[in-house]
Amino acid sequence: EIVLTQSPGTLSLSPGERATLSCRASQSVGTNYLAWYQQKPGQAPRVLIYGASSRATGIPDRFSGSGSGTDFSLTISRLEPGDFAVYYCQQYDTSPWTFGLGTKVEIK
Amino acid sequence: RLQESGPGLVKPSEPLSLTCTVSGDSISLSSHYWGWIRQPPGKGLEWIGSIFHSGNTYYSASLKSRLTMSVDTSKNQFSLRLSSVTAADTAVYYCARHGVPYYDILNGHNWFDPWGQGTLVTVSS
């Protein structure tokens, strides 16, 4: 199965700063079938990005995804208070669809 | 729009059964697959399996031998049954709709949106 490694494990930033999260796959993710999710405590995940770079409905444009092959990233251009959460990447190219272990974005 | 239901406590070696009730969308008319994902306490996410209204299923290989999914279009529900559970099956179980219709090859459909709120299932005697 494709193993996704997310880094860093924790990112400590202040509101207004830029966040860059990394997701590295153990083998190439075809057709850029990679999604990003945000999860807040006690809540279900919600999708932010699919197809590596397409924003899901209702997601603000401060969230952007990029990358291809084995290296992907999620960028939050200016952190807002509601953006402090855990972020997961998921590949859906090769079954089983797998998730990374997450990056926690916390307030510095 | 999706709501999980089922027992919160299951004894080891017994089966775990959960149901997801869908509202605001018709499973039988939808071109989306419907899936289950779980999250052990404090850990990451694991895809379990997915089902179409026709009954077509695909499962994670690691759970396939213990897993059965079914759909009841008359009740607009789909269900999960996991046999012979152990403490390792303790998790929050989420149901979710696949993100786009199955025929959307451009975007690929095996991502999940929206999700239910999740239900915690504890395996313990």
DSSP assignment of B68-83 equals EEEEETTTTEEEEEE-
Confidence of residue B105 (pLDDT cuts 50, 70, 90): confident
Q: Are residues A99 and B60, on separate chains, in Cβ contact within 8 Å?
A: no
Which of A92, A94, A98, A104 would best serve as a mutation to test chain B binding (most B beta carbons within 10 A)?
Answer: A92
The 8-class DSSP code of residue A56 comes to: P
pLDDT cut 90: percent of chain A above it = 98
Residue B83: predicted pLDDT: 97
- Using alpha carbons only, what angle is made at residue A104 by residues A66 and B38, rounded to the nearest 5 degrees? 90
Joined together, the tokens standing for residue B114 give: 């929206």
Helix ranges (DSSP H) in chain B: none
- In Å, what is the CA distance from B19 to each residue of A22, A77, B58, B98? 35, 39, 17, 17
Residue A59: predicted pLDDT: 97
Joined together, the tokens standing for residue B7 give: 């027992």
Residue B106: predicted pLDDT: 79
- Contact present, A19 and A75 (Cβ < 8 Å): yes
Cα B123 to Cα B125: distance, rounded to the nearest angstrom: 7
What is the maximum span of chain A, computed from C-alpha positions, in angstroms?
Answer: 38
Determine the number of helices (DSSP H) and then strands (DSSP E) in chain A: 0, 10
Kindly report, residue by residue over B32-57, the tens digit of the pLDDT.
Answer: 999 999 999 989 999 999 999 999 99
Contacts with B112 (C-beta within 8 Å, 6 or more apart), sequence order: A35, A45, A47, A90, B35, B37, B96, B97, B98, B99
Confidence of residue B60 (pLDDT cuts 50, 70, 90): very high
Of A45, A88, A97, the CB nearest to B110: A97
* Residue A91, pLDDT above cutoff 90: yes
Provide the mean pLDDT of chain A: 96
* Residue A55, pLDDT above cutoff 90: yes
* Residue B104, pLDDT above cutoff 90: no
- State whether residue A42 sits within 8 Å of chain B by CB: no
* Residue B64, pLDDT above cutoff 90: yes
* Residue B101, pLDDT above cutoff 90: no
**Once rounded to an integer, what is the mean pLDDT over residues A62-84?**
97
Confidence of residue B107 (pLDDT cuts 50, 70, 90): confident
Kindly report, residue by residue over B13-22, the tens digit of the pLDDT.
Answer: 999 999 999 9
Which of A2, A29, A95, A97 would best serve as a mutation to test chain B binding (most B beta carbons within 10 A)?
Answer: A97
Q: Are residues B108 and A93, on separate chains, in Cβ contact within 8 Å?
A: yes
Kindly report, residue by residue over B4-14, the tens digit of the pLDDT.
Answer: 999 999 999 99
Cα B73 to Cα A75: distance, rounded to the nearest angstrom: 40
Cα A103 to Cα B21: distance, rounded to the nearest angstrom: 31
Confidence of residue A66 (pLDDT cuts 50, 70, 90): very high
Joined together, the tokens standing for residue A65 give: 């995804």
CB burial of residue B80 (10 Å; 0-12, 13-18, 19+): buried
The 8-class DSSP code of residue B107 comes to: T
Distance from CA of A15 to the nearest CA of B (A): 25
* Residue A46, pLDDT above cutoff 90: yes
Residue A106: predicted pLDDT: 97
